[in-house]
Amino acid sequence: MSLYVGKLNYSPYASNENFLLDLPDGWITHGRAHVFSTFTQDAGGVNQRPFDLTTAYVLRAVNDDATSFVIRDLDNRKFYWFAGTREGDKVTLNMHVGGDPTSQSTLTLDKVK
pLDDT tens track, the chain, 113 positions: 899 999 988 888 888 989 999 999 999 889 999 988 888 887 788 888 777 665 678 988 898 888 999 998 877 777 788 899 999 999 999 988 877 666 678 999 999 96
Q: Taking phi first (over 0 means left), then psi (-120 to 50 degrees means alpha), and beta for anything else, what does residue 3 get? A: beta
104, 96 contact by CB (below 8 A): yes
What separation, in Å, do the N-terminal and C-terminal C-alpha atoms of the chain show? 8
- Residue 96, pLDDT score: 86
Q: In 3D, which of 90, 91, 95 has the Cα closest to residue 105? A: 95
Find the farthest-apart pair of alpha carbons in the chain and give their distance in angstroms, rounded. Answer: 42
Alpha-carbon distance values, 64 to 21, 27, 41 (Å) = 21, 11, 39
Domains of the chain: 2-111 (2.40.128)
What SS3 class is residue 66? coil
Q: Facing residues of 41 across strands?
A: 47
Segment (H or E) for 33: strand 32-41
